[in-house]
Amino acid sequence: MDTAGLAASLSQYRGQRGAAVPALEAVQARYGYVPYQALVVVAETLGVLPAEVFGVASFYEEFRFAPPGAHVIAVCTGTSCHLAGAQQLLAALEGELGIKTGQTTADGQFTLTQVSCPGPCAIGPVLMMDGEPQARVTPDAARRMLATLRSARSAQG
């Protein structure tokens, strides 16, 4: 990891003790996740202890400490989506992928996460596939989405 380059990119946050969230967002935008080494760089930039930065990063679900899969699937578990069947959708995806929420498949293709609410509450349950919202997703529809992605990958070789 290029710690000097990362430190330079975070220079706008130098000495701003309350800027852990935007600094961590910048790290995750750069790497796709928050490498543990980056916590030290963020801490040094902000002028706080690495444990404080880790506390912030581990509090928010949006931050990942491992590289995500090629496809990130996020199921909304907010109130509206929960009432519309989000838990059944999440269970179906866990079963189909053979992983639990927060994990990545062994082949590195899929990461399954949950989000509190991406916004479109009226069209739940909402599934975010690589950042794109999918409306009123049923377990069967989710399985078809996975099958399409898997077959596209197979076709690419």
pLDDT confidence band for 51 (50 / 70 / 90): very high
Same domain membership, residue 46 and residue 102: no
Q: Domain holding 128: CATH number?
A: 3.40.30.10
Q: Report the pLDDT value the prediction gives residue 92, as an integer from 0 to 100.
A: 97
Please say which residue of 18, 35, 59 terminates a domain.
59
Residue 153: is its pLDDT beyond 80? no
Q: CB burial class (10 A; 0-12, 13-18, 19+) of residue 27?
A: buried
Quickly state the pLDDT bin for 157 (edges 50, 70, 90). low
**Is the domain of 150 the same as that of 79?**
yes
Does residue 28 sit in the same domain as residue 79? no
Identify residue 11 by its one-letter amino acid code.
S
Of these ranges, 64-68, 94-98, 123-127, the one predicted with the greatest mean pLDDT is 94-98
Does a cis peptide bond (omega within 30 degrees of 0) precede residue 22?
A: no
Q: Do 27 and 77 lie in a common domain?
A: no
Mean pLDDT, range 30-44, rounded to an integer: 97
Quick one: 77 and 42 in the same domain?
no
Q: Which residue has the higher pLDDT, 63 or 157?
A: 63
- Please tell me the predicted confidence (pLDDT) of residue 73: 96
Does one domain contain both 84 and 37? no
122 has a pLDDT exceeding 90: no
Question: How many domains are contained in the chain?
Answer: 2
Secondary structure element (H or E) that encloses residue 76, with its range: strand 71-76
- Residues 50 and 115 placed together within one structural domain of the fold: no
